[in-house]
Amino acid sequence: MSELEAALAAGRLAALELQRETIALYRPGDDGFDWSTSTDTPEAATVIYSGPARVKPAAQSRGEEVDAGETNVTLLEYTVSLPWDTTVAQRPAVGDLMDVSASPDARMVGLRLWVTGLQYSSTATAWRITAEDRS
């Protein structure tokens, strides 16, 4: 094992220890309409990943207020780190959702984030996904 590979292995182990939240990353189902009952019937969501993650606010995130219809919404940026060797059946995409289901910080439980970007690198210590809180 080269020095680089040894350093990456140590860094990836350390990054895994920081992943103290549990999340579900999923793609919402398409909208649907049942003509026989005249009700909205969205398709089931597709779970892309479920497991440990590190969820932390982006250092530069100050929150941006935007109008969403008649409601003001504050956008806060987060970086979500998954284990580097995570494999998924399909890649996440912008617009997918993440829900925090467990965390040592109880205030984070129930946090919903929207995926805004993905980062890939063979020398990273974790798989990082950028997301935003739109509350």
Query: Residue 134: what pLDDT?
Result: 86
State the pLDDT at residue 30.
Answer: 80
| CA separation for the pair 28, 46 (Å, rounded) | 6
Task: Write down the pLDDT at residue 72.
Answer: 65
**Per-position DSSP letters for 19-34, written without gaps between them:** --EEEEEEEPPPP-EE
Mention every residue, 6+ apart, whose C-beta is less than 8 A from residue 76: 57, 61, 63, 132, 133, 135
pTM > 0.85: no
Positions of the chain with pLDDT lower than 50, given as ranges: none
pLDDT for res 70: 61
Q: pLDDT value at position 2?
A: 94
Q: In this structure, which amino acid lies at residue 65?
A: E
